[in-house]
Amino acid sequence: MAASRGKVISLYKSILKECNKFNTYNYRTYAVRRTRDAFREHKNETDPSVISKLVTKAESNLEMVKRQVLIGQMYGEGNLVIENMAKTV
């Protein structure tokens, strides 16, 4: 059974939301960019079996991002200069 459009969009938003929880600016921007690129790359996919595999992969990536965010919060670093500048502007 192929995933519904709503489920894919929900999964996309969930991954982006988790990616934005990274404390480190570089990880955060990389994860958001990779997520957007991956979903855009496959946006015209019509084969139900391929879509199902992609959704399964995205779900496992979501779980991985959640774990990485948690680890990052446990062993966090200070903000980068670019992050401090954005808060003062």
CA dist 52 and 69 (Å) reads 26
Report pLDDT for 23: 86
33: exposed, middle or buried (Cβ count in 10 Å: 0-12, 13-18, 19+): exposed
Give the model confidence (pLDDT) of 40-49 as tens digits: 999 999 999 9
Cα-trace Rg, the chain: 15
CA atoms within 13 A on the CB side of 10: 5
pLDDT tens-digit readout, 4-26: 889 999 999 999 999 999 988 88
- pLDDT reported for residue 80: 64
Residues 44-61, mean pLDDT to the nearest whole number: 94
Task: Give the whole-angstrom CA distance, residue 53 versus residue 67.
Answer: 21
Examine the pLDDT at 37 and tell me if it is beyond 70: yes
- pLDDT on residue 56: 95
